[in-house]
A and B are shown apart, each in its own frame.
Chain A
Amino acid sequence: MRKKSLTLLSDGYLFRRENTIYFENARGKKPLAIEGIYDIYIYGKVSISSQALHYLAQKGIAVHFFNHYGYYDGSFYPRESLHSGYLVVNQVEHYLDKDKRLELAKLFVIGGIKNMEWNLSKFKNKTKFDSYIEELDNCNKITEVMNVEGRVRTEYYRLWDETLPDDFKIVKRTRRPPKNEMNALISFLNSRLYPAIITELYNTQLTPTVSYLHEPHERRFSLALDLSEIFKPMIADRLANRLVKQNIIQKKHFRDDLNGVLLNKEGMKVVLEHFNKEMDKTVHHPKLKKNVSKRRLIRLEAYKLVKHLVRQKRYEPLVAWF
């Protein structure tokens, strides 16, 4: 059985009876086949029994929680079971050594830039960001790298906007709370993507708290933020683009709140359905000579990082070819 991510949107109760996990809500009680669950994403108001948590921990299944607005709150996941002190030491060494850290930080940003470029070409804009990549070459500080990244992003949103329908202009990419629909949609997707990356990191010996582009104290799992540079354009932006251009997501899927514009319940449902499908979609991997899901691409990126850290092969960020 191929394992799938489980999304719980409705309110309910998650509990364990014997060797089965049940989800009970207003519509009834449903058994969940634990062997088929990869990880769990909870958007509704869900109570979980400690017995269910024990069982999920035993099976190595992470549970990610989202707040009322659909934003990531935090994760419950089993005690780390895969350890490599050696890798931890190498990860930290690459953080402490200024040049090694800069190299990785730049590579993450380059990956992000190339994927933004690729998106634009898909949206029928041939702009190249070569000059920014050259600029990166001369950066000596992480803040300078961040600065280049920020400017590329601004330019990217501006160019992307030219292709978007009037109702869904990004205009100015605002953070929380989003002031318009497209911002709300992108933020919601990014917020779903981040814990998916955490799940993948959890399944490796990498320590998710030691990062290179982002400061390790910025947020708990800052290495997931580093990797999201590559996967935000590749997965979240492209999906957002498709959802509005194909009219799958419309104005009616949003609501106004004191906190800005937000997806409503129905909107979240549609977006999450498409997101899950997207993550399970496979592409042929030319190097591995087999099909891999988009979700697996995240794991492969983690493996590439492992190889960089043990000096087997320099990290080369994934650039979409599909």
Chain B
Amino acid sequence: MENYLEEELIIRGIEINYLYVCKTKLWYFVRGITMEQESDFVDLGKFLHEKSYFGEEKEVQIGSIKIDFIKKRDIIEIHEIKKGKVMEKAHIMQALYYIYYLNKLGMKAKAILHYPKLKEIKEIELKENDKEEIKRAIKEIEHIKSLKEPPEPVYQKICKNCAYYELCFI
């Protein structure tokens, strides 16, 4: 696996997530205008690469998302633990992107979202129409990246806890 591929997995995962959370945030993020806590990603690619981890459970943090990887036979399970469903669509799309990406690298994968507070579990598999949506999402990310001006921030409930709140609404 080339280095830039690993990077793509991490960055795109977050970009896909942001696309469904807030386009303003996505625009600032891809321009390198990030807020304090947003900067340390664990190297997921490296993890996938190191054979020693295979067969073991390992916690990986990507941005604000926690992932457990378990190699089971030929399938990689992506476990993500979520606080709530406010950003469910974003989480699902991000997970789908990981599966999509791992598939492209010749690995089989599925994802499981855990909602301990709601005592719920959601299994995610990549279907044909999901692939189309991921491709569309990537195109839209490219489009937002190319915008000369950031999309106007629109206040929503999540803004209050967003690291970009002051930047957006000052």
Contacts and interface: CB of A to CB of B under 8 A. Distances in A.
Contact of A300 (B31, B148, B152, B170): B170
Nearest to B165: A288
B132 interface: no
B148 A311 contact: yes
B118 interface: no
B50 interface: no
Nearest to A81: B39
Given A81-B39, A82-B39, A310 B33 contact: yes
B32 A83 contact: yes
A82 B34 CA distance: 7
A84 B169 contact: no
A288 B31 contact: no
Contacts of B2: none
Contacts of B31: 84, 86-87, 310
Contacts of B32: 82-87, 205
B24 to A, nearest CB: 9
Contacts of A82: 32, 34, 39
A310 B149 contact: yes
A239 to B, nearest CB: 24
B167 interface: yes
Given A312-B149, A312-B150, A288 B33 contact: no
B128 interface: no
A287 interface: yes
Pick the most buried of A84, A85, A304: most chain B CB atoms within 10 A of its CB. Answer: A84
A287 B149 contact: no
B120 interface: no
Contact of A306 (B33, B149, B165): B33
Contact of A87 (B33, B36, B170): B33
A82 B167 CA distance: 15
Q: How large is the interface on B (under 10, 10 to 19, 20 to 34, 35 or more residues)?
A: 10 to 19
A203 interface: yes
A307 B167 contact: yes
A288 B164 CA distance: 12
Given A83-B32, A87-B32, A205-B32, A306 B167 contact: yes
Contacts of A205: 32-34
B170 A287 contact: yes
A224 B123 CA distance: 52
Interface in A5-39: none
Interface in B24-45: 31-34, 36, 39
A310 B169 contact: no
Contact of A287 (B148, B150, B169): B169
Contacts of B170: 287-288, 300, 303-304, 307
Interface in B151-167: 152, 165-167
Interface in A277-322: 287-288, 299-300, 303-304, 306-307, 310-312
Given A81-B39, A310-B31, 20 more contacts: A82-B32, A82-B39, A84-B31, A84-B34, A85-B32, A86-B32, A87-B31, A205-B32, A205-B34, A288-B170, A299-B166, A303-B166, A303-B170, A304-B170, A306-B33, A310-B33, A310-B150, A311-B148, A312-B149, A312-B150
Closest CB pairs A-B (n = 9): A84-B32, A86-B31, A303-B167, A311-B149, A312-B150, A300-B170, A84-B33, A303-B170, A205-B33
5 contacts: A82-B34, A300-B170, A303-B170, A307-B170, A310-B31
Interface of A: 81-87, 203, 205, 287-288, 299-300, 303-304, 306-307, 310-312
Interface of B: 31-34, 36, 39, 148-150, 152, 165-167, 169-170
